[in-house]
C-alpha cells in the first residue's frame, strides 16, 4: 500500500512540475534551500571545540547536497559570511 501511495505522489508531482515554467520550477526548488529567517544562534560543535555566531534579522540557508549552512552573522560588531557543516552544527532561535 505504501508503495502505491509513494508512486502516486511521485507521479502527481512530476505531472505538476512538467506543467510549470522553468522559472516556476526554480522558485519551487529554492523553497527547500532557504531554511530560516529571523534571529538565530548557530553553533558549530566538534569534540571540545564550540564556535557560535549570531544571525540577526537574517536567514540561514542550507544546501544539503553540499552539506553546509550559509549565513551572514554578526561578530565583534561586524557582518561576516559563514559556511558551516550541517552535520556538526545546530541552530537555536533567539527570542526577544
Q: Is the pTM of this model over 0.95?
A: no
Tens of pLDDT along the chain (96 residues) come to 556 655 556 545 554 545 666 666 555 555 554 567 788 899 999 999 999 998 888 888 888 778 899 999 888 888 899 999 999 999 998 887
CATH class of 34-96: mainly beta
pLDDT tens-place string over residues 1-26: 556 655 556 545 554 545 666 666 55
Cα 52 to Cα 84: distance, rounded to the nearest angstrom: 10
Domain boundaries, the chain: 1-31, 34-96
Three-state secondary structure call for residue 37: strand
pLDDT number for residue 57: 87
Amino acid at each position: 500500500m505504501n508503495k502505491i501511495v509513494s508512486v502516486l505522489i511521485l507521479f502527481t508531482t512530476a505531472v505538476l512540475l512538467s506543467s510549470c515554467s522553468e522559472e516556476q520550477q526554480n522558485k519551487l526548488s529554492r523553497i527547500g534551500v532557504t531554511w530560516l529567517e529571523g534571529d538565530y544562534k548557530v553553533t558549530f560543535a566538534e569534540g571540545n571545540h564550540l564556535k557560535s555566531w549570531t544571525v540577526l534579522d537574517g536567514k540561514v540557508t542550507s544546501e544539503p547536497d553540499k552539506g553546509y549552512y550559509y549565513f551572514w552573522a554578526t561578530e565583534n560588531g561586524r557582518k561576516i559570511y559563514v559556511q558551516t557543516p550541517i552535520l556538526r552544527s545546530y541552530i537555536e532561535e533567539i527570542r526577544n
